[in-house]
Amino acid sequence: MVQPLVDSTTPEPAASAGQPLLEFDQVGLEYPFEGSMRQIIQSVDLSIQPGEFVSFVGPSGCGKTSILRMVSGLNPAPIGEVRCRGQRISKPLKNVGIAFQNPVMLPWRNTLSNVMLPLEIVSPYKQEMHRKKAEFVHMAQDLLSTVRLQDFQKQYPWQLSGGMRQRASLCRALIHQPEILLLDEPFGALDAFTREEMWVMLQALWMRVKCVGILITHDLREAVFLSDKVYVMSSRPSTIIYETRIDLPRPRTLEMELSDEFNHYFSTIRRHIQH
């Protein structure tokens, strides 16, 4: 696995270094609209290496969320293919974690038990639930303390703030050690300060699990801060019009946001966004 922990994530032989985990091959999407087919997404081609964190940004309605749903297999690509380890994704993958803008939690479970939900469903954890309960609780507590929720394990969702719920839902998305973490505008509903705090925590979580991260966002700073690579999508019919590698060292800090380098990335990406 490529280690994104160290300085630069550009192992030059990226293409030859090994199989990409995910490949998009001429992916498209159309929707019937007033009698004809409307093109939403057109020929998206890209590949994502193991351990890479990528973001998709673009104007609203350009099909960013659809990209995510194709990867998860919740709505497989209707045109072209998305492949995971060379296998066409045609049904929901089992090795993914998902977090949405709405951090849905089960109101009858406390935070700890909400975070542990995937362990009750995903193999091999579910078979080991009784035997390794203590170990699993420890795993969950570990994640919760990474996002500074260690003192809120016994609280119920309605006793948490929106930001806290989102942090818990990130822990839930990661506890079963998924290979792919899918994030659909996870911080869209949070205020600017909370959001920046969340970036740092998400980075910390992701650096522990070392999975592929795919982030959908319309916050360009968020994309730059978190990603190894940012893909800019055009408006409909959308395709990738610009991609850039973000060579900022990790772990990234909020101070870096003020650096020239950071702002250079930001403004270059900003110039490529159409309305």
By CB under 8 A, name the binding residues for other proteins.
72-74, 92-94, 96-98, 100, 102, 104, 106-108, 117-118, 120-122, 156, 158, 172, 176, 182
Q: How far is CA 139 from CA 13, 135, 212, in A?
A: 35, 6, 20
In angstroms, give the least distance from the CB of 52 to other proteins.
Answer: 20
In angstroms, give the least distance from the CB of 71 to other proteins.
Answer: 10
In angstroms, give the least distance from the CB of 245 to other proteins.
Answer: 28
Residue closer to other proteins, measured from CB, 58 or 97: 97
In angstroms, give the least distance from the CB of 15 to other proteins.
Answer: 29
Looking at this protein, which amino acid is placed at residue 29? L
Residue labelled with tokens 């991609």: 243
Strands (DSSP E) contained in the chain are: 22-33, 36-48, 53-57, 79-84, 87-88, 96-99, 180-184, 212-216, 229-233, 240-245
Residue closer to other proteins, measured from CB, 176 or 195: 176
Q: Which SS3 state, helix, strand or coil, does residue 84 take?
A: strand
Residue closer to other proteins, measured from CB, 17 or 121: 121
In angstroms, give the least distance from the CB of 65 to other proteins.
Answer: 11
Q: Are 106 and 165 in contact (CB under 8 A)?
A: no
- Report the residue count for the chain: 275
In angstroms, give the least distance from the CB of 34 to other proteins.
Answer: 26
Residue closer to other proteins, measured from CB, 94 or 264: 94
State how far the Cα of 151 lies from the Cα of 110, in Å rounded to an integer.
Answer: 12
In angstroms, give the least distance from the CB of 270 to other proteins.
Answer: 30
Is the preceding peptide bond at 32 cis, omega within 30 degrees of 0? no
81 burial level (CB within 10 Å; 0-12, 13-18, 19+): middle
Token duo for residue 208: 């522990």
State how far the Cα of 256 lies from the Cα of 261, in Å rounded to an integer.
Answer: 8
Residue closer to other proteins, measured from CB, 175 or 226: 175
Residue closer to other proteins, measured from CB, 180 or 224: 180
Residue closer to other proteins, measured from CB, 75 or 268: 75
